[in-house]
Structure 1
Amino acid sequence: MRKTIVLTLLLFATNSFGQANKVDVVKLVELSGEVNEFYNIADEISKQLSANNRESFKKDMEPLITKQKKNLVAYYAQNLSQSEVENLIEFYQTPLAKKFMMIKQNYATVLSNKSEDFKSEIQGIIMKYMM
């Protein structure tokens, strides 16, 4: 009887502290918007290319983005328990999280619109230290 109880407790402890289910982690990564950030970075870079090269660049970026997504999923799966992943998924499906994601996306748009000003300010500071 004792062995059964100890074994049950060990199995429970292993499951609660073990790695998260990767299918659920993929869902978490997608809900969190982190994959979209990879695409946004690629879009920003593509704007610096000629119109003819933009689509080819995005196609070439796809395997790299897929690799980054796999790395992110593996990292989260290793460092989060299944329970933590489920709680985060539940959070990202709440109205508060959806509002936060919308505000975050809007800020990214505003920031990208102002990035040229920011870059020129940085260049001014860099020039100060290079002379």
Structure 2
Amino acid sequence: MKKIVLLLCIFLSVNGFAQANKSDVIKLVELSGEINEFYSIADEISKQLSPNNRESFKKDMEPLLAKQKNNLISYYSQNLSQSEVENLIEFYQSPLAKKFMMVKQNYATVLSNKSEAFKAEIQGIIMKYMM
């Protein structure tokens, strides 16, 4: 009887810490917008290139962005349980999360518009210490 109880406890604990389903993790990563942040970074960098090189740059970035997405999916799959992934998916599909994502995206736009002034301020401080 003790062996059955022990096996049952082990079985339940293993299931409680099981890795999340990869397809659900992919859905979570897409809903969270983290992949879009990688694409935004690549777009910002491409704006610094000549118009002739932008498309080639984006094409060259695709494998790197896909690799980053796979790394993120793998990491979440290993560190989140199926239940946690399902709860996060439910959250990201909620009206509150949709509003949060919109506010976050708007803030990123505002921040990028102010980033040139911020960079200039940082350069001023750097110059102070370099001289």
Instruction: Tell me the TM-score range normalised by the shorter chain.
Output: over 0.9
The one-letter code matched in structure 2 to 1:14 is: V
Residue in structure 2 matched with residue 63 of structure 1 by the alignment? 63
Pair 1:125 & 2:122 matched: no
The one-letter code matched in structure 1 to 2:110 is: V
Q: Percent identity?
A: 79
Aligned CA RMSD, in angstroms, stands at: 1.2
CA drift of 1:113 comes to 1.1
Deviations 1:74-99 (A, max 9, x none): 11111111111110010000000000
CA distance in 1 between partners of 2:12 and 2:24 (Å): 19
CA drift of 1:4 comes to 4.2
CA drift of 1:7 comes to 2.9
Q: Please show how residues 14-29 of structure 1 align to structure 2 within 5 Å.
A: 14-29=14-29
Deviations 1:16-46 (A, max 9, x none): 1121111111111110000000000000001
- 5+ long unaligned stretches in structure 1: none
Residue in structure 2 matched with residue 83 of structure 1 by the alignment? 83
CA distance in 1 between partners of 2:114 and 2:45 (Å): 15
CA distance in 1 between partners of 2:2 and 2:123 (Å): 70
Residue in structure 2 matched with residue 45 of structure 1 by the alignment? 45
CA distance in 1 between partners of 2:56 and 2:87 (Å): 39
The one-letter code matched in structure 2 to 1:118 is: F
- 5+ long unaligned stretches in structure 2: none
CA distance in 2 between partners of 1:56 and 1:4 (Å): 62
User: SS in structure 1 opposite 2:48?
Assistant: coil
Q: How many residues align?
A: 131
User: SS in structure 1 opposite 2:49?
Assistant: coil
